[in-house]
Amino acid sequence: MLIVMKPQTAEEKIQGVINYIKERGFDAHVSRGADHTVIGAVGRKVIDKRDIELLDGVSEVIRISSPYKLVSRVFQPEDTIIDVKGVKFGGGHIGMIAGPCSVETYEQVDATAKKLASYGVKVLRGGAFKPRTSPYAFQGLGEEGLKILREVADKYNMLVTSEVMEVNQIPMFLKYVDILQVGARNMQNFNLLKSLGEIRKPVLLKRGLSATIEELLMSAEYIMSGGNREVILCERGIRTFEPITRNTLDISAIPVVQKISHLPIVVDPSHATGLRDKVAPMSKAAVVAGADGLIIEVHNSPETALCDGAQSLCPEEFAELFDELKALASIVKKEF
Ligand code: PEP
Ligand code: MN
């Protein structure tokens, strides 16, 4: 961090700042200009920039190193490829995840998965524990839902992802799922993130409704700093002033994240838009912008879905889209 002192600051104030940062474990590199003195604080400790801004004689504090380490490309220049039992995300591979918003019945999941598997989808999604805005809305089938997902996925040789909401659910999830999903509402549930750092299964981490890209990356850092290096990031739209779509898909998050981080980033066009007819154009945009994967809601009968039917594709619509996405992927030199 660079500490710029006010013009003509007295020597004892400069010395006061140097002592302050040294006492907190930093080395001080001082550069004296005609007017300004700049102090470079170098060290690995965490310090609140605002505390330095308040010191006598300080004009400005500029942070030059990123707060995240393990998620950063500085730590690892090459792309991380998350290989979930042969299904790859990152480094030129686009992973496709599809399935209903929630698990409702065995028949519903079976009918949807049967078609998805026939189109070549390898990862089945479905919520068993649902974070709903209203306590009166369908809350999911719980463990029964996870059992259904696993059984159907095994039948069609698919993998499973589902959202885990609490620390104490993790052992149960480890029995049934291949990827543990952290929903937007839990992106900053730090206890959950720390516990997911201790497991050795991939985590799909969704961006919070109002989270910055830096906050998303810091949440990934929580998981990675616990030792779990298999984190897939997910851009799922952010809350803006625009009410026509459910959220606003931040397409620029894809190249922004990819420049800062080596982790793969997938896009959820279903929650990002909330509107079925917007899912195809946003999926195509995501692939062209370099997404490392997609997670799309598909329901065998969207009209009767208990949750998010309006943003779910029917299997046939999905099949048509998947073909188009494969063609686009080859143009950007990637493959599903
Ligand atoms: C979901 O994918 O089921 C979900 C609830 O999404 P989000 O956490 O992004 O709202
Ligand atoms: Mn949903």
Q: What is the whole-number distance in angstroms between the Cα of residue 134 and the centre of ligand 2?
A: 14
Cα–Cα distance measured from residue 85 to residue 66, given in angstroms and rounded to the nearest whole number? 33
What integer is the mean pLDDT of 199-209? 98
What integer is the mean pLDDT of 186-208? 98
Query: Could you tell me the pLDDT band of residue 197, with boundaries at 50, 70 and 90?
Result: very high
| pLDDT tens digits, one per residue of 91-126 | 999 999 999 999 999 999 999 999 999 999 999 999
What integer is the mean pLDDT of 30-45? 87
Judged by its nearest atom, the ligand closest to the C-alpha of residue 267 is 1
**47 pLDDT above the threshold of 90:** no
Closest ligand 1 atom to Cα of 183: 8
- 297 C-beta closer than 6 A to ligand 1: no
Q: What is the predicted pLDDT for the residue at 13? A: 96
Burial of 116 (0-12, 13-18, 19+ CB in 10 A): buried
- 237 C-beta closer than 6 A to ligand 1: no
| pLDDT tens digits, one per residue of 211-236 | 999 999 999 999 999 999 999 999 99
| pLDDT tens digits, one per residue of 232-250 | 999 999 999 999 999 999 9
Q: What is the predicted pLDDT for the residue at 36? A: 86
Cα–Cα distance measured from residue 121 to residue 115, given in angstroms and rounded to the nearest whole number? 9
Q: Judge if pTM exceeds 0.85.
A: yes
Closest ligand 1 atom to Cα of 185: 8
Q: In the block, which residue shows the tokens 């200009």?
A: 33
Q: What is the predicted pLDDT for the residue at 257? A: 98
In order of their start, the domains of the chain are: 2-62 (3.30.70.1140), 82-331 (3.20.20.70)
Q: What is the predicted pLDDT for the residue at 90? A: 98
What integer is the mean pLDDT of 2-30? 94
Judged by its nearest atom, the ligand closest to the C-alpha of residue 309 is 2
Query: Could you tell me the pLDDT band of residue 290, with boundaries at 50, 70 and 90?
Result: very high
Query: Could you tell me the pLDDT band of residue 301, with boundaries at 50, 70 and 90?
Result: very high
Give whole-number Cα distances, 273 to 163, 249, 257, 306, in Å.
20, 7, 20, 18
| Residues flanking ion ligand 2, Cβ below 5 Å | 101, 308
Q: What is the whole-number distance in angstroms between the Cα of residue 257 and the centre of ligand 2?
A: 24
- 236 C-beta closer than 6 A to ligand 1: yes
Q: What is the predicted pLDDT for the residue at 294? A: 98
Q: What is the predicted pLDDT for the residue at 211? A: 98
Q: What is the predicted pLDDT for the residue at 69? A: 86
**66 pLDDT above the threshold of 80:** no
Per DSSP, helices labelled H in 24-79 are 49-53
Residues with Cβ within 8 Å of residue 178, at least 6 apart in sequence: 84, 85, 123, 159, 160, 161, 201, 202
Q: What is the whole-number distance in angstroms between the Cα of residue 181 and the centre of ligand 1?
A: 9
**44 pLDDT above the threshold of 80:** no
**34 pLDDT above the threshold of 90:** no
Judged by its nearest atom, the ligand closest to the C-alpha of residue 246 is 1
- 246 C-beta closer than 6 A to ligand 1: no
Q: Which residue has the CA at smallest separation from atom 10 of ligand 1? A: 184
